[in-house]
Amino acid sequence: MRTSTIQPRSLPLGPKGRPLVGVLPQMRRRPLQFMAECASTYGDALQVKIAHLHACLLSHPDLVEEVLVTHNRKFIKPQLLKQASEVLGNGLLTSDGDFWLRQRRLAQPAFHRDRIANYAELIAAFSDQLTNRWGNGQTMDIHEEMMGLTLQIVARALFGADVAGHTETVGRALDAALQRFTERMSLMRLLDRFPLPRNIRFRQRQRELDGIIYGMIESRRQSKTENDDLLSMLLHAQDTDGSQMSNQQLRDEVITLFLAGHETTAIALSWTWMLIAQHPEAEARLHDELDRVLGDRPPTLADVPNLRWTEMVVKESMRLYPPAWRVGREAAEDCVIGGYQIPKGMQVVASQWVIHRDPRWYPNPDAFLPQRWDGDLARQLPKFAYFPFGGGPRRCIGDEFAKMEATLILAAIARKFKLTLIPNQQIDYFPSITLRPKYGIQVRAERRGER
Ligand code: HEM
């Protein structure tokens, strides 16, 4: 057998940053711009120090594929994400290895295309209910509206009717959890132990949330009636040896699904509304399609294949504003990626924001052009030139759900309302775990015709 004589190279050095903290200040202040600048100055692979962490930034789709697919077994979830375990427990997003694999196998059938089809009606109905509350000319923060809507949808998909009346408490607790998570990303962990008001509030919200979730799990275990929601599927899911999830595992998965499934989709929609309002031609094509396909009725699952432009709008929006703007891993062993040495313990980061705006893959990369997806661009691109849902075995379990949900919500609302941006507002993004609009997005909703 011939052995390769090519020796792995060391990763090129990126910016040095400051003593002790390395590039942490830049990563905290302007992570998107910083990562994009690093990629354009130092290339597709480089190493930096982020405080005590040794990290590398990968900005070529083929390198991302090597980490997420080809050599995925050599990587685990990164340290910073593990800190979220305080909230998420050992759920799908944060767990690793055999435990993760078993949980993923148990949960996967709940996200099968046929199962999620059941939720289409629910999505259209909740969207309709929301717009029935809107008055003509009403102004609102569309991000807040989308957060409320997707929370209701994911809560109902998980728990069926049981959740009615609890959605607000759950939403509040999730907000507190996200807030906490964001703070933890800023390495403020030392303060967690003290009885500060925010810590007390956080624990109280967590207790409320756990109380509701354990209550629902328990009453579902006692119940003799068949339910068609995700909780029932997870509760009855059996591994090959006949074992099932404990209450604690169910709680962790349910909170994970709540968190992973509600804010991301809301963010995708919020940026989509902004982009549509800023691009009258794209908006006109959207309205034409909805009038032609739906007329004056709400959308159903059967309409989705005919809502091509609507889908392309969502796809292009997630290219420009990927709700998950980076994926991270930690090398569990020494390995070689793209010919570069990656030592055990190194934090590996790849940013959707950077790769989705790379002119090598997208001509005129900063422009919102849904029509770019009309031909066979998707087939020509390297696999990881577009990866809003990640990839490989840890690909988002809710990707099909989210795509269907975003398309149906956009269709259900845009068939009735045209949203215009309130002038002179400041719109900016806040890259924490997700890419939220920092100050929300203020719009005026105008009724389209007499629908
Ligand atoms: C537009 C909406 C969404 C986006 C952009 C998104 C994005 C992502 C990404 C990038 C990952 C992979 C993270 C990594 O590799 O480190 C992920 C994982 C995950 N997502 Fe989503 N997601 C969305 C919606 C949803 C929904 C609706 C659900 C569930 C109802 C969900 C549940 C999950 C879970 C459980 C994981 C962890 C999967 C595993 O590791 O096995 N997501 N998501």
CATH number of the domain that residue 282 is part of? 1.10.630.10
Looking at residue 182, its pLDDT comes to 65
**What one-character-per-residue DSSP string does 409-426 give?**
HHHHHHTTEEEEEPTT--
121 and 269 fall within a common domain: yes
Question: For a pocket test of ligand 1, which of 102, 396, 404 has the largest count of ligand atoms closer than 8 A to its C-beta?
Answer: 396
Check if 402 has its Cβ closer than 6 Å to any atom of ligand 1: yes
Which ligand 1 atom is nearest residue 100's CA?
41
CA of 425 to the centre of ligand 1 (A): 31
363 and 416 fall within a common domain: no
Written as six digits, the tokens of 303 are 């309409």
Model confidence band, residue 333 (pLDDT cutoffs 50, 70, 90): very high
3-class SS at 76?
strand
To the nearest whole percent, how much of the chain has pLDDT over 90? 62
315 and 411 fall within a common domain: yes
141 and 27 fall within a common domain: no
> Domain tally for the chain?
2
Q: Is the pLDDT of residue 202 over 50?
A: yes
Model confidence band, residue 362 (pLDDT cutoffs 50, 70, 90): very high
Question: For a pocket test of ligand 1, which of 92, 234, 262, 264 has the largest count of ligand atoms closer than 8 A to its C-beta?
Answer: 264
Closest-CA residue, ligand 1 atom 26, reads: 261
Residue 224 placed within a domain: yes
Mean pLDDT confidence for 363-384 = 96
Q: What is the DSSP letter of 27?
A: H
Domain boundary among 346, 362, 387: 387
Check if 256 has its Cβ closer than 6 Å to any atom of ligand 1: yes
CA of 396 to the centre of ligand 1 (A): 4
CA distance between the termini of the chain: 72
Check if 388 has its Cβ closer than 6 Å to any atom of ligand 1: yes
CA of 139 to the centre of ligand 1 (A): 31
**What one-character-per-residue DSSP string does 177-212 give?**
HHHHHHHHHTT-GGGGGS--HHHHHHHHHHHHHHHH
Give the β-pairing of 326-331 and 75-76.
antiparallel
To the nearest whole percent, how much of the chain has pLDDT over 70? 94
Closest-CA residue, ligand 1 atom 1, reads: 265
184 and 305 fall within a common domain: yes
**pLDDT, mean over the chain:** 89
267-305 in b/e form (b: 16+ CB < 10 A) is bbbbbbbbbbbebeebbebbbebbeebbeeebbebebbe
Check if 392 has its Cβ closer than 6 Å to any atom of ligand 1: no
Give the range of the structural domain holding residue 189, as residue numbers without chain letter: 104-320+397-451
Which ligand 1 atom is nearest residue 68's CA?
15
CA of 228 to the centre of ligand 1 (A): 22
Check if 34 has its Cβ closer than 6 Å to any atom of ligand 1: no
Do 443 and 142 form a contact (C-beta atoms < 8 A)? yes
Looking at residue 185, its pLDDT comes to 52
Mean pLDDT confidence for 377-384 = 95
Closest-CA residue, ligand 1 atom 21, reads: 396
pLDDT tens per residue across span 215-233:
888 888 887 777 778 888 8
Check if 257 has its Cβ closer than 6 Å to any atom of ligand 1: yes
Count the neighbouring beta carbons within 10 Å of the beta carbon of residue 20: 9
CA of 256 to the centre of ligand 1 (A): 9
Closest-CA residue, ligand 1 atom 37, reads: 93
381 and 421 fall within a common domain: no
Closest-CA residue, ligand 1 atom 11, reads: 396
47 and 151 fall within a common domain: no
- Residues 290, 308: Cα–Cα separation, whole Å: 10
226 and 297 fall within a common domain: yes
Which ligand 1 atom is nearest residue 91's CA?
35
Q: Is the pLDDT of residue 166 over 80?
A: no
- Residues 230, 257: Cα–Cα separation, whole Å: 10
Written as six digits, the tokens of 134 are 């809107």
Check if 394 has its Cβ closer than 6 Å to any atom of ligand 1: yes
- Residues 43, 59: Cα–Cα separation, whole Å: 8
Do 245 and 235 form a contact (C-beta atoms < 8 A)? yes
Written as six digits, the tokens of 360 are 């090598």
Check if 441 has its Cβ closer than 6 Å to any atom of ligand 1: no
CA of 287 to the centre of ligand 1 (A): 29
334 and 263 fall within a common domain: no
Check if 352 has its Cβ closer than 6 Å to any atom of ligand 1: no
Residue 95 placed within a domain: no
Rounded to the nearest 5 percent, the helix, strand and coil shares of the chain are 55, 10, 30
Residue 96 placed within a domain: no
Range with the lowest mean pLDDT among 30-44, 163-177, 417-431? Answer: 163-177
Domain boundary among 334, 357, 387: 387
Q: Is the pLDDT of residue 450 over 60?
A: no
Looking at residue 233, its pLDDT comes to 84
Residue with tokens 């990629």: 39
Tell me the residue type at 245: M
Residue 302 placed within a domain: yes
Do 328 and 352 form a contact (C-beta atoms < 8 A)? no
Residue 94 placed within a domain: no
CA of 168 to the centre of ligand 1 (A): 23
Instruction: From 264, 9, 294, select the one nearest 151 (Cα to Cα).
Output: 264
Residue with tokens 């993760």: 100
- Residues 99, 41: Cα–Cα separation, whole Å: 40
Entry pTM: 0.93
Instruction: From 320, 282, 319, 324, select the one nearest 410 (Cα to Cα).
Output: 282
Maximum CA extent, the chain: 75
183 and 271 fall within a common domain: yes
356 and 402 fall within a common domain: no
Residue 124 placed within a domain: yes
CA of 105 to the centre of ligand 1 (A): 15
Query: What are the backbone angles phi and psi of residue 447, rounded to the nearest 5°?
Result: -70, 135
Do 73 and 323 form a contact (C-beta atoms < 8 A)? no
Written as six digits, the tokens of 179 are 């807030």
Q: Is the pLDDT of residue 161 over 80?
A: no
Residue 98 placed within a domain: no
Range with the lowest mean pLDDT among 37-46, 100-109, 405-414? Answer: 100-109
Domain boundary among 387, 419, 440: 387
Check if 93 has its Cβ closer than 6 Å to any atom of ligand 1: yes
Written as six digits, the tokens of 15 are 């910016």
Residue 110 placed within a domain: yes
CA angle 394, 395, 398 (to 5 degrees): 120
Beta strands in 92-239 (DSSP E): 138-141
245 and 350 fall within a common domain: no
Written as six digits, the tokens of 233 are 């599927």
Looking at residue 1, its pLDDT comes to 45
